A and B are shown apart, each in its own frame.
Chain A
């Protein structure tokens, strides 16, 4: 899970490592993911999202498809 300056840099990195380009995530979308996962982590009642909750969280951000499905066996 890495930062990149641009889509061109992502494509260059993936080509250099011979790996597929995955869906790109904007910084504002990443903030939503970070707060959803971690905003209660220092509290007694914190809990991690369960797989079905994860799907809903990703979908609300427009992150859909098998890649973002924590129960999928097909990743394209």
Chain B
């Protein structure tokens, strides 16, 4: 397995286990690597759109579908609380974990609470809707806004 794949898996496994973004030193320790090499890998993973980094180049804002910061889209699974980057990623977390989960979000207009149970084969029936403002070709122009 190449180094970047190992870094990616270390990051994603940390998110899956804790719901939190790992610090570079935690990634480095988990794979017996140097922090400088991990940070170089972060840049390559960012270019592959597997990571979105804060301005310091070391803090993980997004490892889609996981968010490194709190958002309005929370997901609970196996006693762990996760934050998703958007409504799409809120369903992406149970899809990635391949575990049953409950999504907690809200209607962006009315603020009405939205709770959706998602089993391993999919969500319970729901007549709520998903709306994406940004066209597909522009999603990564500003992925935080998207």
Where the two chains meet, the residues of A that have a C-beta atom closer than 8 Å to any C-beta of B are 1-7, 9-10, 12-14, 16, 19, 21-22, 24-31, 33-35, 37-39, 41-42, 44, 48, 54, 58, 66-73, 75
Contacts and interface: CB of A to CB of B under 8 A. Distances in A.
A9 B9 CA distance: 39
Given A5-B112, A10-B109, A39-B95, 4 more contacts: A1-B87, A10-B131, A42-B9, A54-B136
A58 B88 CA distance: 14
- How many interface residues does chain B have, given as a range? 35 or more
Contact of B130 (A3, A13, A48, A68): A3
B109 to A, nearest CB: 4
B78 interface: no
Q: Which of A9, A24, A71, A73 has the most CB of B within 10 A?
A: A9
A71 to B, nearest CB: 6
Interface stretch (B18-26, B35-43, B52-60, B121-129): B121-129
A50 B128 CA distance: 28
Contacts, number: 155
Contact of B91 (A4, A14, A22, A34): A34
B67 to A, nearest CB: 12
Interface in B88-111: 88-98, 105-110
B135 A75 contact: yes
B133 interface: yes
Nearest to B135: A75
A24 B131 contact: yes
Given A28-B123, A31-B123, A42 B96 contact: yes
A71 B5 CA distance: 28
Given A27-B116, A28-B123, A70-B137, A1 B109 contact: no
B86 interface: yes
A9 B123 contact: no
10 contacts: A1-B133, A2-B86, A3-B129, A4-B108, A5-B110, A16-B109, A22-B132, A42-B16, A44-B9, A48-B50
